[in-house]
Amino acid sequence: MKTFWLYLQAMKIYSILILFVVSYWGGVMAQERPSMPEKENKKVETIVPDVKRWRMIDDFSLADTISVDTLTTGYQVYNPIYRQSFSNVHLGNNGAPYQSNILSERVWRNEIIFHNSLPWYFAQPSDLTFYNTLTPYTNVFYHFGGPKRRSEEAVGVMFTQNVNKNWNVGLSYNLYSSVGQYDAQKSDNQSFKFFSSYDGEKYSIQGAFLYAKVEQFENGGLLNDSDVINGNPDFDQPENIPVRFRTAKNEINDIQFFINQSLDVGSIKIKDGEDGDEDVRLPIGTMFHTLNFQHGKRVYGIDDLSDYYKTDGNIKPFYEDIYIDSLRTRDSVRYNALVNTFQIKFNEEANPLLKFGLRAYISNEVRNYTFPFANPDGKPVYIEDEKGNKLYQYQSQDTTLVTTCLGGQIFKNEGENFWWNAGMRFYFQGYRLGDTELTGRINSQFRLFRDTAGIFADGGLYLRSPELFQNKYSSNHYKWENDFNAVKTVRLKGGVRIPTKRFTASVETRFINDYIFWNAKAEPQQSSDFVKTIEAKVNQHFILGRIHCLNEFAWQYTSNAKVIPLPDIALYSSNYYENKLFKVLTFQIGFDLRYHSAYFTPAYMPATGQFYIQEKREVGDYPFVDVFLNCQLKRARFYVKYDHVNEGFPNNDYFYTIGYPANPRSLKFGVSWNFYD
């Protein structure tokens, strides 16, 4: 264990030194405007010509250009989880745990299972956006929702600037906080990013420091859902309705250091230009090294646990078991991860004969977990603090997992009409020995009468071992020892898009064997059934004059709803009138509608932060309607929105899942401002 910690500390120092060296080197060596984003992906045009930005994809080996978000359409969707998925199960207030109702839109990061219900608030290196700007670029935003005594706010700032033509630095800070309309629902989610990139003639590097902190009160849901469904005259305000817990709290801190370096090797002279008469030298290949270090801690606590077991016998305790401490709960989990990846890529531009590229890589992961367990003799050990309070002496256990994989990919990213790739990953050592991934993707575009259409498809075969906490975990209220098999999944997806008609349709199916889910006891369980799911999605944006109707629709099927429950139908429809006043003020006025059919929505377990199977009652079949006004004046966007305007119609069963109703109707507004100087 001591050796592991020394290794981690060395990697921390290494990451910081690399960032410092990059910053210094970028300042003294930059000579010309970087061309990597356009060279790697020519298909996407940026909206703002002075600001270019991109993400690193395909294991950080390819820069994918993305546009700057300056659009008015959809700005009223202030809650970030609805930008990831148009239909979600969540706990009601902004910043609370959530899970998509659409299977293909769920974000799984099972290495740290406590992030599964909060993926948006824990950015990963693959989510990072890098910039290159002619002038400094700043974006600030602010959202507010009332009433004031139970308000919710979101504040954010992002700043980036080029030090010279090759070297860019930037930082961002976001705060999402909410008191919550119901009792003991307060959340406070913060994130900070420092990022930098340098793109030289042969050497490039991207680096970042990521910090995220989540603090949330976990009220366990309403004591009786009927207080909302049937209405209870004893409670004049939502915050007066009784909840399960008033002092339970969940805190997560997460830190990451990320470095991705690349060096071009070799060169070849090829003919280029419109007539093929220009000699151009291109690198034969590129070598990459990626390092990611992650450290975090999760604490779930209840200070006055014994008070929640003093009942009259009519109310069953929320937690049936207490394994460690009957006075208070303090489940503390620490985790560390170090991932090193080395790869070499043979560039397709330098392969005029075969017209495709290939890459190979090796990656090593070292993960360490620390979590509590009961004393070996089964007898609690208490000490007294200076005030005479009894404190339990927690014991902890450490587990370190090491695994190594080999992988490769062949690809065609250049060209105007057809792109494809196929990859393989095989784990040959350590905890995930035998795990395998086979993936593939194709994308195309072609003329269809007077329009441009495209066909796309992707899929994969996955053999994946369970994560540590699915197999082994202990805390004050839950403990288990499992020996699950690897989960086998086949995923196939295909679709068509017609950009000129603003139309996209796709069908995705999954075949899953030995699926691991969270059962009705909120514990992991492996299904012996072969589960099949089908999902059909359609996106269509109709325009008639100045009237817009933007629709997203999904139909889903699951062969075993007790293992993977899904709504049959989910939809989002945004309908608005758009015009311009005084030739400068663009505005949209309209309403949003969200709906999903009734089904046994997953319930939420605060102690583990997981959504789990429940069969007590179906939730859904209730429309949520919001009315809004969006405006854009030059570089500023703002909205005013009346949320859940139809509260109580057609009934009061406006729950997201059992115990967690939607917020009552409320007024919200927000503003976002871009600065380019």
User: 30, 198 in Cβ contact below 8 A?
Assistant: yes
Q: What is the pLDDT of residue 147?
A: 84
pLDDT confidence bin for 273, thresholds 50/70/90? low
Give residues with Cβ within 8 angstroms of 600, minimum separation 6.
561, 565, 613, 614, 615, 616, 617, 618, 619
Name which of 225-239, 263-277, 279-293, 431-445 the model is least confident about.
263-277
Tell me the percentage of the chain whose pLDDT exceeds 70: 87
Between residues 523 and 70, the one the model is more confident about: 523
Give me 138's structure tokens.
């700043």
Between residues 351 and 542, the one the model is more confident about: 542
pLDDT confidence bin for 313, thresholds 50/70/90? low
- Average the pLDDT over 343-360 and give the result: 86
Q: What is the pLDDT of residue 283?
A: 87
Task: Assess whether the previous peptide bond of 147 is cis (omega < 30° from 0).
Answer: yes
- Alpha-helical regions (H) of 203-349: 226
Chain center to CA of 647: 29
What integer best gives the mean pLDDT of the chain? Answer: 87
Does pTM top 0.75 for this prediction? yes
pLDDT greater than 50 at residue 22: no
Could you read off the pLDDT of 192-248 as tens digits, one per residue?
A: 999 999 999 899 999 999 999 999 999 999 999 999 999 888 888 899 999 999 999
Tell me the percentage of the chain whose pLDDT exceeds 90: 70
Instruction: For 117-225, list the strands marked E by DSSP.
Output: 130-133, 137-145, 152-162, 167-178, 187-199, 203-217
User: 98, 88 in Cβ contact below 8 A?
Assistant: yes
pLDDT confidence bin for 38, thresholds 50/70/90? very low
User: 511, 489 in Cβ contact below 8 A?
Assistant: yes
- Average the pLDDT over 658-669 and give the result: 95
pLDDT greater than 70 at residue 387: no
User: 185, 92 in Cβ contact below 8 A?
Assistant: yes
- Average the pLDDT over 617-642 and give the result: 95
Q: What is the pLDDT of residue 280?
A: 75
- Identify the helix (H) or strand (E) that includes residue 342: strand 329-346
Give me 172's structure tokens.
């961002």
Could you read off the pLDDT of 392-409 as tens digits, one per residue?
A: 566 778 899 999 999 999
pLDDT greater than 80 at residue 464: yes
pLDDT confidence bin for 4, thresholds 50/70/90? very low
Could you read off the pLDDT of 483-535 as tens digits, one per residue?
A: 999 999 999 999 999 998 999 999 999 999 999 999 999 999 999 999 999 99
Per DSSP, the three-state class of 677 is coil
Look at the block and give the residue holding tokens 């209405």.
231
C-alpha 43/C-alpha 482 separation (Å) is 48
Give me 294's structure tokens.
């992650």
Q: What is the pLDDT of residue 12?
A: 43
Q: What is the pLDDT of residue 388?
A: 65
pLDDT greater than 50 at residue 633: yes
pLDDT greater than 80 at residue 132: yes
User: 212, 123 in Cβ contact below 8 A?
Assistant: yes
The fold of the 2-248+260-675 domain, in CATH, is Maltoporin; Chain A (2.40.170)
pLDDT confidence bin for 324, thresholds 50/70/90? confident
Q: What is the pLDDT of residue 50?
A: 76
pLDDT greater than 50 at residue 39: no
**CB atoms closer than 10 angstroms to residue 459:** 17
Could you read off the pLDDT of 138-165 as tens digits, one per residue?
A: 999 999 998 888 899 999 999 999 999 9
pLDDT confidence bin for 267, thresholds 50/70/90? confident
pLDDT confidence bin for 326, thresholds 50/70/90? confident
pLDDT greater than 50 at residue 348: yes
Q: What is the pLDDT of residue 111?
A: 79
User: 306 in the Ramachandran plot: left (φ > 0), alpha (ψ -120 to 50) or beta?
Assistant: alpha
Q: What is the pLDDT of residue 31?
A: 33
Chain center to CA of 453: 30
Could you read off the pLDDT of 155-206 as tens digits, one per residue?
A: 999 999 999 999 999 999 999 999 999 999 999 999 999 999 999 989 999 9
pLDDT greater than 70 at residue 66: yes
